[in-house]
């Protein structure tokens, strides 16, 4: 028996619940929102697809009733304001920090052993805030950013190479921001062949640049931030934990000396299993990649400092 709760029944939260149900790895799913009736309605709508898709997960929707989340193994936090065209993820900090703090407090009252997955933006800073306020061990708070950014990276790479996205592998590390993420072209491959052998420099750099503004491109088109890929990425992350997969995925993790960084949450490859982040994997970065990582960490710290300025930590 396993249970996942998703806080926030908006675009990302509802898509995430839907993806988890379709992936059939959990027995109970709870969707919670503050807006009266929204989570109940979406949960009921999804339950009416159970026969069509042949899943047996029970999905319950509730309005702000945290007792329904009792005993969750994993809680995914999507409650927060999404960005609008022209906004950066960092600009959401004030309003989302207040929401995240109250949500985390309520979640932990009912599921003190849960592993928390943070999706609300600015995600690296919301993950850091939760580390500071909840005082949970570092393995139990994971930010979802790198899996999404990497999936966008694979999407653009597969287009450039004209091959299926499922046959390309690669990772994005660093902060989950348009200027802070680092698509690692040197580590990316198609069927084991380095993509740097298959694409010329200009094409490879375009893939990296498109990846970095992947979210902003969608925000411009949709008038709000994206949800299919963010919801699916949250589901894949939750599955790795519930199924104790021990998969290596790039996630936002608290660093305590790894990659030469301390007291920061930022995207790095980690081993994911039933204990959450079971290990931080240290890649052998070259000097250029190390420099990009340091710059990225400095930018994430700058946003984290707003938490100090606002006396939130």
> Is 145 near ligand APR (CB under 6 A)?
no
Distance CA 184, CA 79 (A): 30
3-state secondary structure of 149: helix
- Position closest to ligand APR via CB: 10
> Is 125 near ligand APR (CB under 6 A)?
no
Strands 58-63 vs 181-183: parallel, antiparallel or unpaired: unpaired
Candidate residues 13, 145, 170, 183; the one interacting with ligand APR per rule CB under 6 A:
13
Task: Give the DSSP H or E segment for 135.
Answer: none
Distance CA 93, CA 162 (A): 38
Closest CA relative to residue 251, chosen from 119, 137, 75: 119
Nearest-approach distance from CB 23 to ligand APR, in angstroms:
19
The single residue of 22, 110, 169, 176 carrying the catalytic annotation is 176
Count of residues making up the chain: 313
Cis-peptide, bond into residue 189, ω within 30° of zero: no
Q: Is 110 a catalytic residue?
A: no
Q: x-or-dash pattern for ligand APR, window 65-94, by CB under 6 A?
A: -------------xxxxxx--------x--
If the CB atoms of residues 96 and 111 are measured against ligand APR, the closer one turns out to be 96
Angle, vertex CA 36, rays to CA 33 and CA 41, nearest 5? 80
Query: What totals of helices (H) and strands (E) does the chain contain, helices first?
Result: 11, 14
> Is 129 near ligand APR (CB under 6 A)?
no
Closest CA relative to residue 6, chosen from 157, 211, 231, 305: 231
> Is 18 near ligand APR (CB under 6 A)?
no
> Is 230 near ligand APR (CB under 6 A)?
yes
CB atoms within 10 A of CB 260: 12
Q: Find the binding residues for ligand APR in span 32-71 (CB under 6 A).
A: 32-35, 38
Total of residues contacting ligand APR (CB under 6 A):
30
> Is 19 near ligand APR (CB under 6 A)?
no
Candidate residues 20, 29, 93, 99; the one interacting with ligand APR per rule CB under 6 A:
99
Q: Which residues make up the interface to ligand APR (CB under 6 A)? A: 7-13, 32-35, 38, 78-83, 92, 96, 99, 102-103, 119-121, 224-225, 227, 230
Residues classed as catalytic? 176
């Amino acid at each position: 028996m396993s249970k996942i709760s998703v806080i926030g029944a908006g675009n990302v939260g509802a898509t995430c619940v839907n993806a988890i149900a379709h992936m059939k790895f959990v027995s109970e799913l709870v969707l919670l929102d503050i807006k009266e009736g929204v989570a109940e309605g979406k949960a009921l709508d999804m339950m009416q697809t159970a026969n069509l898709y042949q899943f047996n997960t029970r999905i319950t929707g509730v309005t702000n009733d945290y007792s329904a989340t009792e005993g969750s193994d994993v809680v995914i936090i999507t409650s927060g304001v999404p960005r609008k065209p022209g906004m950066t993820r960092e600009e959401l900090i004030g309003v989302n920090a207040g929401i995240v703090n109250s949500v985390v407090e309520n979640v932990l009252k009912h599921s003190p052993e849960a592993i928390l997955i943070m999706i609300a933006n600015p995600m690296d800073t919301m993950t850091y805030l939760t580390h500071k306020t909840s005082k949970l061990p570092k393995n139990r708070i994971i930010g979802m950013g790198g899996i999404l950014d990497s999936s966008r990276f694979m999407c653009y790479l597969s287009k450039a190479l004209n091959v299926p996205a499922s046959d390309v592998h690669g990772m994005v590390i660093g902060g989950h921001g348009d200027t802070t993420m680092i698509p690692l072209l040197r580590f990316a491959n198609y069927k084991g062949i380095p993509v740097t052998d298959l694409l010329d420099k200009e094409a490879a750099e375009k893939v990296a640049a498109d990846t970095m503004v992947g979210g902003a491109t969608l925000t411009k088109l949709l008038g709000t931030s994206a949800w299919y890929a963010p919801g699916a990425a949250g589901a894949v992350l939750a599955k790795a934990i519930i199924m104790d997969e021990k998969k290596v995925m790039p996630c936002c993790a608290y660093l305590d000396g790894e990659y030469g960084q301390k007291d920061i949450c930022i995207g790095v490859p980690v081993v994911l299993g039933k204990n959450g982040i079971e290990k931080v994997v240290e890649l052998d970065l070259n000097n250029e990649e190390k420099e990009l990582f340091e710059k990225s960490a400095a930018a994430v710290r700058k946003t984290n400092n707003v938490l100090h300025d606002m006396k939130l930590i």
